[in-house]
Structure 1
Amino acid sequence: MISAHRIFSHKQNKRGDVSVKSIHQEALTLGVCYYPEHWKESLWREDLQRMKAYGLTVIRIAEFAWNKFEPEEGVYTFEFFDRFMQVALEEQMQVIFCTPTATPPTWLSEKYPEILNADLDGTLYRHGMRRHYNYNSPVYRRFCAGIVEKLAAHYCPYPNVIGWQIDNELNCEKDVFYSESDHLAFRTYLKEKYKTLDNLNECLGTVFWNQTYSDWNQIFLPRPTYQNSANPHLALEERKFISHSVIEFADLQAQIIRRYAPKGQYITTNGLFGHVDYDELVERSLDFIMYDSYPLFGFERKDQPPKKDDLKDRNWSWNLTRARAISPNFGIMEQQSGAGGWVSGIATPMPKPGQIRLWTMQSIAHGADYIGYFRWRTSWIGTEIYWHGWNDYSNQPNRRLEELKGIHHDVAAIERLAGAKYQARVAVLKDYPNEWDGDTDQWSAQVNRLSDKGWFEAAQLTHTPCDFLYLNETVTLQALCQYDLLVYPHAVILTECTANLLRRYVKQGGTLILGCRTGYKDEYGRCPMSPMPGFAADLCGVEVTDYTYLSPYDEMEQADWNGSMIEAPLFNDILEAHGSTAKAEAVYRGNYYDGKPALVSNKIGRGTAYYYGAAFSRQTAEAFLHKLQFAAPYQGILELPEDCELAVRQKDGTNYYFVLNYKEHEARISVKKRMTNLLTDEQITGPYELAPYGVLVLKESLA
């Protein structure tokens, strides 16, 4: 076997004083997903050679190919993929090898139906789709361990294997599980956590509606009930249990691969999907996270009419921000390269000329150092025959392949940006318990959706780079202090420990914004008999004296903030300032609480905490950014219209400004400092017309 130059490794980066896991490469790299089992062997070498001509040097393979390795129970064969791997070696193509556990073979599903997932009433999902298994079946775990062991032992020694993908899109399609194995595993999980039934009954409030358990065997994951309204505290535990199951399943595979993988081969998986604590997953089992980016979902045809102010493909920067919160430098395992569509259920248009280049740069702008496209050639068989790759069915040259040539040129021009860090002084705080509690809590769900959208769009349209920071027990004060402004829109579940950490952040000079319904619940989702907002009261110098969900018949509630009217949508906490350092900054205008405080500030040490008694629309979030002087931190360097996104990455004393035009018309910008556009090597200053779907990467030395 010949050697292949390894460009991948992994390393620990710092977020504050806590290590986080990132991809590490010598250069930005392009790759593509390839399915040799779908094509004649006579195409393999030509395909790999054409890939390299377009700058694609990495392929991902085998995630749906279990039957090629184990055509019947206990019978393993590697001949097919050995032939392909030999061609890949000869062509010096690097390989990300996948474990094929996302699609168990037919013989396994039929002989062992206990491996199948089930719906809420226990009906099994039968073979014929994908991801139809459950994580907790001992039988499935045994077969998964077997196939992973065989593949790792056989393919880890290949010098062109640079990494491993575990499964494929964990919790995609279905992120709830109700098989018999899941019910049994859930009981074990609760026993280990709560120890006694008395403790479980107390913490989960089972006395309500006579749900008290007297035997562990009485406990199930949620099952069909009248209106399907399960115990909300048990439902929160269900979400935690699902995440636990996913992580156990991934770790089973990761531990096997690590026994065989030489130094430099990484382990990852592709996300992001519901009911998974990705921070714990990466910390425990992976070297970094990969994301699958499909911006064309922003143009998917649906029954309801599109919203005029929707950011469409630009919304995918929200997901990229989330990926960056897990791994500051990450990879894209699947980047859109053509129309998306299944035979049923999904239909999107073909990307317009320039859009794939734009989306590639969108991913890179947010910290992606590897871009793998889905897929090389459009499938001619199966459910995804309308999900296009670079090549159409005909395998003839097309305009998208011409665009790939330009992308290859652009990435080569900026390849040394690998490792550059996204720059943001504003962060939105998130946590998994509140996300999962919002699955069943409709009060929380609606304010969360509005405020997430409001803060994202406000940051985008004011050109204020923004991070996410997920809170857990490992996050330190130093990690928070990287940011001048933290926004925790609706910390409905707020522990004393988290409140104390936030207080220390404010005391050291930080600015903190909290929104309505903060501190309403404890860690189990119960509402304690104490004044609201619970542990946020002392932090914000505030008490909630009344509260209301806004009726659809109410006019849009507003708050008067020193003469400026800001929106106060969906839910209103009526506030009262408490303490010598607390001050009412804004009052409600309208409804029965007209003139009552809507916004209270509280000085703590060198910083200020704000409690706003409503959700955050785009207009509200923009008002906070402007009034507190956090908006547009780079306006002295670049003047941009709302149609363009600004992202900044920094490395070795140099800022790299990505300007992305998401519109099909030119964008007029102003460059206020002479800088080099790395994509063309031209010097730019003053007014500039950015082409439709155009991109600039401007270099500024900070020395």
Structure 2
Amino acid sequence: MTQHRAFHWPQPLEGQQARIWYGGDYNPDQWPEEVWDEDVRLMTKAGVNLVSVGIFSWARIEPREDLYDFDWLDRIIDKLGKAGIAVDLASATASPPMWLTQAHPEVLWKDYRGDVCQPGARQHWRPTSPVFREYALKLCRAMAEHYKDNPYVVAWHVSNEYGCHNRFDYSEDAERAFQKWCENRYGTIDAVNDAWGTAFWAQHMNDFSEIVPPRFIGDGNFMNPGKLLDFKRFSSDALKAFYIAERDTLAEITPGMPLTTNFMVSSGNTTVDYDDWGREVDFVSNDHYFIPGEAHLDELAFSASLVDGIARKQPWFLMEHSTSAVNWRPINYRKEPGQLVRDSLAHVAMGADAVCYFQWRQSKAGAEKYHSAMLPHAGENSQIFRDVCELGADLNTLADNGLLGTKLAKSKVAVVFDYESEWASEHTATPTQKVHHVDEPLQWFRALADNGMTADVVPVSSNWDEYEVAVLPSVYILSEETTRRVRDYVANGGRLIVTYYTGLSDEKDHVWLGGYPGSIRDVVGVRVEEFAPLGDDWPGTPDHLELSNGTVAHDIVDVIGSIGKDAEVLASFKDDPWTGMNGRPAIVSNAYGEGRSVYVGARLGRDGIAKSLPAILKALGADVEDSADPDLLRVERVDEETGARFTFLFNRTHEPISLLVDGEPIVMSLVERDGATATINPNGVLIIKR
């Protein structure tokens, strides 16, 4: 693994104090210039102090090859800067102009059937195209040379959401790059054959030139899982290499300017390995869009915690989220009253020192015209804009009270998230298509919250083994290195929770033999002989299985053949005798070295996990009891030098919650105060300084 780049945060404009950065994407090129002054006036009213400019402006900046028009961009940056609004300037390379793709159609990516992605949307370029790279880096150099001394530009926004639309490319350029990537990773073609298990189905290769991307192989057929996993790794690396080329081009000309690119971290997005990418930015940035319905707040907190884990608890930048509805779902639900403020402060609670939206002014034309914005179609006289102004004031209050420089307090519990485990578990030839790694970490985060604990969500390569309790939820891949860390962690006194679908394979997606989870069987004290998937797609098949602790398993359970001599069964399955599952262990505690583990051999869902957790934690002997009300999401940021603590309390329910206030309330949204008692209403948040 490469080392993280030195942390480098955007600094305030000359003469200004450091604040929480607040603003959003700004697209002045979509509007006549007479609108610009009104924008600046309303930005000032709302407390906006930063906007991202030029993200999709390549065609305006370079309307013809080698003909640059910076005048309009100079004018708006000057207006913004003189009003005290800093600029996060994009490299503008996210989407090529029509003149480029018409002159060089070979830069357009191809899908797995060989069809060309035509221009007409965005990000229709190949990450591995040398032609596109030449044009993109030429634009980067022109941008950097022109703005290297501009006092109002405080950061580079490199491209935009890499891989959002061009994650996989199956072109000839990609084929050559994939061959080279395999050669660099494995050294010899024999090593590739071993990694991909090509003895199966006569897929043996004699030379790197015989490697092809996982293109269309016929409906209903199964792609080589090793190749597919490596192609996902390669695709993440190919996009990263393009980002690094842009980053280094900009940095060479503007060495003092911090650089970032916006990730898309959420509970279900595994487009690239964002933890790997986190090593390559000066500060981590993220775009997050809410999940409608009852999981809204919990999923947001989960995702923001994962961003904090990727940032290794350095401040991070919320580059995009929405004031209300998005435009890209089949049904685009609005946010409820209070959620605009609540959601933003939840990101801040989890370590964000910047809150930005897509976008400042809602577009009147184009594919995103119905995406909400800070200034909606309804204009200044709207609840959204009033909430935007309220949030701006809240963020300034937090800065005035010293929030900047604090970090998310470390939890006692870590929930581990692994991009490669998700990529491997996505294969179409697995025990059940209903089970993937990506679904399980959020359920454990929510179940812990239901027991009054707010966990840290951390990548598998981070310091999860420094927590009092670590949860490995369906971490499908356990490499030799991760296996060693697991063994050392528990042997040295750690408390480990391991679930079904963990440790099935090594980093090559080769199954650990001898019974699951092969490399850590003795650590967890179980030997799983086979899987028992559950479903209702055939008449008479079992779709659930009850446990002796009153919970119910769905989708999959493990057939545990034996347990270790020091293991203890915490719950067993209840079923008809003829099925062979009745009385088999379902949840098992085990002693290993100085520590303990608990193995959960069934998919219990949030409710089942929450109900099982008290017994699991007791069996672990873990000192993680929390007096927090499970109806409240409780998060703390701490000043490590002064000891000051900022406690964020969010209502997780649709009912008012009353509590005694211990400390000084500094921000209240949808909160009623009566002496020492505060009532947090639905979608409300209370922030207390101690």
Instruction: Report the TM-score, using the length of structure 2 for normalisation.
Output: 0.89
- Asked if structure 1 preserves the Cα contact closer than 8 Å seen for 2:317 and 2:352, the reply is yes
1:185 Cα offset (Å) = 0.9
2:230 is the counterpart of 1:237: yes
- Equivalent-residue separation in structure 2 for 1:517 and 1:352 (angstroms): 37
1:501 Cα offset (Å) = 1.0
Aligned residue in 1 for 2:15: none
Change (3 A) 1:19 1:392: closer
- Equivalent-residue separation in structure 2 for 1:249 and 1:697 (angstroms): 41
Q: Which one is further off, 678-687 or 274-283?
A: 678-687
| Match for residue 79 of structure 1 among 61, 65, 71 | 71
- Asked if structure 2 preserves the Cα contact closer than 8 Å seen for 1:24 and 1:418, the reply is no
Secondary structure in 2 aligned to 1:611?
strand
2:178 is the counterpart of 1:186: yes
Q: Which one is further off, 690-699 or 525-534?
A: 525-534
Q: Which one is further off, 78-87 or 90-99?
A: 78-87
What is the one-letter code of the residue matched to 1:320?
A: A
- Equivalent-residue separation in structure 1 for 2:454 and 2:112 (angstroms): 41
- Asked if structure 1 preserves the Cα contact closer than 8 Å seen for 2:465 and 2:485, the reply is no
Secondary structure in 2 aligned to 1:294?
coil
- Asked if structure 2 preserves the Cα contact closer than 8 Å seen for 1:166 and 1:268, the reply is yes
CA displacement 1:421-452 (0-9 Å, x = unmatched): 22311111122221211221544763335423
Secondary structure in 1 aligned to 2:116?
coil
Aligned residue in 1 for 2:413: 426
- Asked if structure 2 preserves the Cα contact closer than 8 Å seen for 1:376 and 1:389, the reply is yes
CA displacement 1:195-218 (0-9 Å, x = unmatched): 222221222111212222234333
| Match for residue 531 of structure 2 among 547, 552, 562 | 547
- Equivalent-residue separation in structure 2 for 1:542 and 1:616 (angstroms): 18
| Match for residue 287 of structure 1 among 270, 282, 290 | 282
Identity of aligned residues (%): 27
What is the one-letter code of the residue matched to 1:248?
A: A
Q: CA RMSD in A?
A: 2.7
Aligned residue in 1 for 2:190: 198
Secondary structure in 2 aligned to 1:56?
coil
- Equivalent-residue separation in structure 2 for 1:205 and 1:216 (angstroms): 15
- Equivalent-residue separation in structure 2 for 1:262 and 1:495 (angstroms): 38
What is the one-letter code of the residue matched to 2:687?
A: V
Change (3 A) 1:616 1:497: farther
2:428 is the counterpart of 1:454: no
- Equivalent-residue separation in structure 2 for 1:176 and 1:23 (angstroms): 31
Secondary structure in 2 aligned to 1:428?
strand
Aligned residue in 1 for 2:680: 690
1:470 Cα offset (Å) = 1.3
- Equivalent-residue separation in structure 2 for 1:20 and 1:263 (angstroms): 12
Mark the runs of 5 or more structure 2 residues left unpaired by the alignment. Answer: 12-17
Aligned residue in 1 for 2:143: 151
- Asked if structure 1 preserves the Cα contact closer than 8 Å seen for 2:161 and 2:261, the reply is no
What is the one-letter code of the residue matched to 2:560?
A: L
- Asked if structure 2 preserves the Cα contact closer than 8 Å seen for 1:587 and 1:599, the reply is yes
Aligned residue in 1 for 2:159: 167
- Equivalent-residue separation in structure 2 for 1:556 and 1:184 (angstroms): 47
What is the one-letter code of the residue matched to 1:44?
A: W
Aligned residue in 1 for 2:553: 568
- Asked if structure 2 preserves the Cα contact closer than 8 Å seen for 1:575 and 1:600, the reply is no
| Match for residue 464 of structure 2 among 455, 480, 484 | 480
- Asked if structure 1 preserves the Cα contact closer than 8 Å seen for 2:81 and 2:87, the reply is no
Aligned residue in 1 for 2:300: 316
- Asked if structure 2 preserves the Cα contact closer than 8 Å seen for 1:494 and 1:523, the reply is yes
| Match for residue 53 of structure 1 among 45, 48, 51 | 45
- Equivalent-residue separation in structure 1 for 2:68 and 2:23 (angstroms): 29
1:685 Cα offset (Å) = 7.2
- Equivalent-residue separation in structure 1 for 2:432 and 2:595 (angstroms): 28
| Match for residue 587 of structure 2 among 590, 599, 612 | 599
- Asked if structure 2 preserves the Cα contact closer than 8 Å seen for 1:557 and 1:589, the reply is yes
Aligned residue in 1 for 2:572: 587
| Match for residue 657 of structure 2 among 659, 664, 668 | 668
Matched ranges for 1:393-472 at <5 A? 393=377, 395-415=379-399, 416-423=402-409, 424-441=411-428, 442-443=430-431, 446-447=434-435, 448-472=437-461
2:121 is the counterpart of 1:129: yes
1:405 Cα offset (Å) = 2.2
Change (3 A) 1:620 1:36: same
Aligned residue in 2 for 1:6: none
- Asked if structure 1 preserves the Cα contact closer than 8 Å seen for 2:422 and 2:438, the reply is no
1:63 Cα offset (Å) = 0.6
1:516 Cα offset (Å) = 1.5
- Equivalent-residue separation in structure 2 for 1:395 and 1:599 (angstroms): 56
- Equivalent-residue separation in structure 2 for 1:579 and 1:512 (angstroms): 16
Change (3 A) 1:351 1:368: same
- Asked if structure 2 preserves the Cα contact closer than 8 Å seen for 1:676 and 1:683, the reply is no
1:586 Cα offset (Å) = 2.7
CA displacement 1:91-147 (0-9 Å, x = unmatched): 232000011121100011111111111111111010100111110001011111111
- Equivalent-residue separation in structure 2 for 1:667 and 1:694 (angstroms): 9
Secondary structure in 2 aligned to 1:609?
strand
| Match for residue 213 of structure 1 among 205, 212, 221 | 205
CA displacement 1:261-316 (0-9 Å, x = unmatched): 25353434342353312222221x21122112222x415xxxxxxxxxx4235422
1:457 Cα offset (Å) = 2.1
CA displacement 1:438-495 (0-9 Å, x = unmatched): 22154476333542342132133333111122123xx4xxx33441111101232212
CA displacement 1:242-261 (0-9 Å, x = unmatched): 11101101100111111122
Matched ranges for 1:247-286 at <5 A? 247-263=240-256, 265-272=258-265, 273-283=269-279, 285-286=280-281
Q: Which one is further off, 56-65 or 502-511?
A: 502-511
- Equivalent-residue separation in structure 1 for 2:629 and 2:304 (angstroms): 24
- Equivalent-residue separation in structure 2 for 1:245 and 1:113 (angstroms): 20
Change (3 A) 1:160 1:18: closer
Q: Which one is further off, 246-255 or 499-508?
A: 499-508
Change (3 A) 1:114 1:44: same
- Equivalent-residue separation in structure 2 for 1:156 and 1:444 (angstroms): 54
Instruction: Report the TM-score, using the length of structure 1 for normalisation.
Output: 0.87
- Equivalent-residue separation in structure 1 for 2:5 and 2:109 (angstroms): 36
Change (3 A) 1:510 1:497: same
- Asked if structure 1 preserves the Cα contact closer than 8 Å seen for 2:446 and 2:606, the reply is yes
Secondary structure in 1 aligned to 2:529?
strand
Secondary structure in 2 aligned to 1:120?
coil
2:509 is the counterpart of 1:525: yes
Aligned residue in 2 for 1:659: 649
2:599 is the counterpart of 1:611: yes
Aligned length: 657
- Equivalent-residue separation in structure 2 for 1:143 and 1:54 (angstroms): 38
What is the one-letter code of the residue matched to 1:575?
A: I
- Asked if structure 1 preserves the Cα contact closer than 8 Å seen for 2:109 and 2:116, the reply is yes
What is the one-letter code of the residue matched to 2:485?
A: L
Secondary structure in 1 aligned to 2:588?
strand
- Equivalent-residue separation in structure 2 for 1:19 and 1:624 (angstroms): 41
1:608 Cα offset (Å) = 0.5
1:512 Cα offset (Å) = 0.3
- Asked if structure 2 preserves the Cα contact closer than 8 Å seen for 1:152 and 1:260, the reply is yes
Secondary structure in 1 aligned to 2:123?
coil
Aligned residue in 2 for 1:537: 521
What is the one-letter code of the residue matched to 2:684?
A: G
- Equivalent-residue separation in structure 1 for 2:324 and 2:675 (angstroms): 35
Secondary structure in 2 aligned to 1:324?
helix
- Equivalent-residue separation in structure 1 for 2:523 and 2:155 (angstroms): 46
- Asked if structure 2 preserves the Cα contact closer than 8 Å seen for 1:101 and 1:144, the reply is yes
Secondary structure in 1 aligned to 2:662?
strand
- Asked if structure 2 preserves the Cα contact closer than 8 Å seen for 1:658 and 1:697, the reply is yes
- Equivalent-residue separation in structure 2 for 1:339 and 1:490 (angstroms): 32
| Match for residue 493 of structure 2 among 503, 509, 518 | 509
Q: Which one is further off, 258-267 or 51-60?
A: 258-267
Secondary structure in 2 aligned to 1:691?
strand
- Equivalent-residue separation in structure 2 for 1:311 and 1:373 (angstroms): 21
